[in-house]
Structure 1
Amino acid sequence: MPNIASILKSEISRVARKEVRAEIETLKKASVQHRSAIAALRRQVIALEKELRNVAKGTARSARASEPEEAGEGEPKRRFSAGRLAAHRTKLGISAASYGQLVGVSGQTIYHWEQGKARPRAAQLESLAAVRGMGRQEVAQRLESN
């Protein structure tokens, strides 16, 4: 005959394991939910940090953009395109050195601007805008007079 103490002990162990298993399952489910919530919060923090950086960049850009407007006193803001500069010079049929004479810079500077290796300053942009407004005959007259 089996010992009643050992049977009771094995039965208590079995019931205890069953109870522990049930408790662990609920804890596992809670843990999975918490982990997914933490992951979602991390993604949200990353998105907010990215948005904050973009806003900070935007305010820095707008601050830089507003400074020349204040100093320029209503002058229109000029944009520069290397391809358009090269196309305009080709349209006029003149060399980089001649175009540089019109703008007030060297031919090498014009070449660097066209290649995108350098960008003109604000005063030079105004000179470029003035040259863009000229026609082929006016450019020829201006070059002959220099």
Structure 2
Amino acid sequence: MTTFANSLKTEIARVARKELRDEISSLRKASAAQRSAIAVLKKEIKELQGRVALLSRAHHGQRAQESAVPRPQALAGKSRGKPGRKVIFSAERLKAARARLGFTQLQMAQLLGVSALSLWKWESGAAAPRASRVPQILERLALGKREALAMLKATDA
């Protein structure tokens, strides 16, 4: 009886291996096809990344050329925004302009004709200037460093 059980056991194992071999071969074929598709996609990604880098460099080069062309200064008394749009005061813009000019809060306050405390409140966002003063403030923020220094010296004298 042991020989019968052993032979049955080996026959079942052989049939199972034969069935698994067919299934495994189809899985191997599918896996190989997917690996080749992945390789093609990776090549496409690499090519597209190269194109993006090239276009990015060309775009940055264009921007550098545009920034090298001098832009006309805004006329005094004219709003730099689009016509018909309300000009909005921004604390970040005020801080950035002060940093660009390299002024202390006291110097910037003197340039704008306000107290240092008012300027500090405007920069911190605790307060905003009156609407009637905003165009004048934005006009002075648009000044270059030399113009601002000259205006500051003129107010000191």
TM class by shorter chain equals 0.3 to 0.5
Q: Would you tell me which structure has more helix in proportion to its own residues?
A: 1
Q: Which has the higher contact order (CA 8 A, sep 6+)?
A: 2
- TM-score, normalised by the number of residues in structure 2: 0.41
